[in-house]
Amino acid sequence: MENKTDDLEKELIDKYKKKQSEYDKKRYEKRKEELKQKYINNRTEMRNKQKDYYNNNKQRYINYYNNNKERILEYNRNYKLQKKEANKSM
């Protein structure tokens, strides 16, 4: 008698595990699509915010560059020289 009940118990447990795993797979697939869509939406929203910010402040960037042109160019020259020296020493 014990053997039959043990087998039945095992069958029920296996059946439950199978159903649970199928349910988990379905849930995962559903959630996967949802997360993918959420990521795409967030990415698009961030890109739009960055574009808006840049477009709204474009003149400020242009003015900053024009006002500090010499300093920026000097900084770039020094940076390139430092990079060359570092490559030579290696």
pTM reported for the whole predicted model: 0.41
What is the dihedral angle through the alpha carbons of 72, 75, 76, 81, rounded to the nearest 10 degrees?
160
25: nearest Cα among 37, 14, 17: 17
Distance between CA 27 and CA 19 in Å, rounded? 12
| pLDDT number for residue 1 | 47
**Hey, is 28 helix, strand or coil?**
helix
What does the block give as tokens for 76? 């770039």
Q: Contact, 65 vs 72, CB < 8 A?
A: yes
25: pLDDT confidence band, cut at 50, 70 and 90? Answer: confident
Structure confidence by residue, pLDDT tens digits, 58-88: 999 999 999 999 999 999 999 988 888 888 8
